[in-house]
Amino acid sequence: MSTEHIQVTPELFAYMRSVSLRETELRRALREETAELPDSQMQIMPEQGQFMALLLQLMKARRGLEVGTFTGYSALCFAEALPDDGLIVCCDVSAEYTAIAQRYWEKSGLRHKMDLRLAPALETLDQLLQDGQKASYDFCFLDADKENYSEYYEKALILLRPGGLLMADNVLWSGRVAGTSDDESASTSALKDFNQKLATDQRVALSMLPLADGLTLAIKK
Ligand code: CA
């Protein structure tokens, strides 16, 4: 039995990228513009976007939720994977960052698949529930403030259809969730609670990947 992940050295990483990354010019431009921002670490890795888009293609997803849109890179990956009548409800509180997102979405010709809601995501998810949209979404990407992950998750589980996919980002939190860390920040503690809760949550099928900063996949039963 193999008990270790392969060590991804910089050389191996560059090789992986050279033989597998497929990124449009537009997405690369968005990634480069985002890299100049003070919160640039919030940008997902392009490999992660490509991987999640592949999952959406596999499940023939049409409607999704994104909790935490930032400058719109992940939504762009998702939109490319959805059919023309696909829709993503994009939740964010930053007018500044989502203005960048909208500029690139327009250029991509995929703006019609984006339903941007500038409000605290818990309010938007509650609104969707009030609008009778229970069990009507194929996927949810969770990537906003970590303190509210568990609450977002509970609401998203109601909004997802059976067989729907939840993808939660940053679940390894640069390693700070593991036992030896003395980091007691609210985000770290919330992520530890979130991971522990999902570990035994029988409402979902679960997998956690050490991809980028850690990605949990949970399928609603
Ligand atoms: Ca993230």
pLDDT, one tens digit per residue, over 80-106 is 999 999 999 999 999 999 999 999 999
Centroid of ligand 1 to alpha carbon of 216 (angstroms): 12
Task: Give the length of the chain.
Answer: 221
Higher pLDDT, 181 or 221: 221
Centroid of ligand 1 to alpha carbon of 16 (angstroms): 21
pLDDT at 146: 97
- The model's confidence at residue 5, banded by pLDDT at 50, 70 and 90, is confident
- The ranges assigned to domains in the chain are 27-220
**129 close to 159: Cβ distance less than 8 angstroms:** yes
Centroid of ligand 1 to alpha carbon of 149 (angstroms): 12
Centroid of ligand 1 to alpha carbon of 161 (angstroms): 24
Centroid of ligand 1 to alpha carbon of 72 (angstroms): 12
Centroid of ligand 1 to alpha carbon of 55 (angstroms): 18
Centroid of ligand 1 to alpha carbon of 214 (angstroms): 9
Centroid of ligand 1 to alpha carbon of 143 (angstroms): 5
- Cα separation, 195 vs 172, whole angstroms: 9
Tens of pLDDT, residue by residue over 142-188, are: 999 999 999 999 999 999 999 999 999 999 999 999 977 677 899 99
Tens of pLDDT, residue by residue over 175-217, are: 999 977 677 899 999 999 999 999 999 999 999 999 999 999 9
Centroid of ligand 1 to alpha carbon of 43 (angstroms): 6
Q: Which helix (H) or strand (E) holds 141?
A: strand 137-142
The yes-or-no verdict on residue 109 having pLDDT over 80 is yes
Tens of pLDDT, residue by residue over 35-60, are: 999 999 999 999 999 999 999 999 99
Q: Encoding tokens for residue 71? A: 């400058």
Centroid of ligand 1 to alpha carbon of 42 (angstroms): 5
Could you tell me which of 68, 61, 77 has the C-alpha nearest to residue 160?
61
27-220 CATH fold: Rossmann fold (3.40.50)
pLDDT at 4: 86
The yes-or-no verdict on residue 1 having pLDDT over 80 is no
What strands lie across the sheet with 114-118, from one edge to the other? 114-118, 87-92, 63-67, 137-142, 160-169, 215-220, 204-209
- Cα separation, 72 vs 43, whole angstroms: 9
Centroid of ligand 1 to alpha carbon of 1 (angstroms): 32
pLDDT at 205: 98
pLDDT at 182: 74
Is residue 145 classed as helix, strand or coil in its secondary structure?
coil
Centroid of ligand 1 to alpha carbon of 47 (angstroms): 13
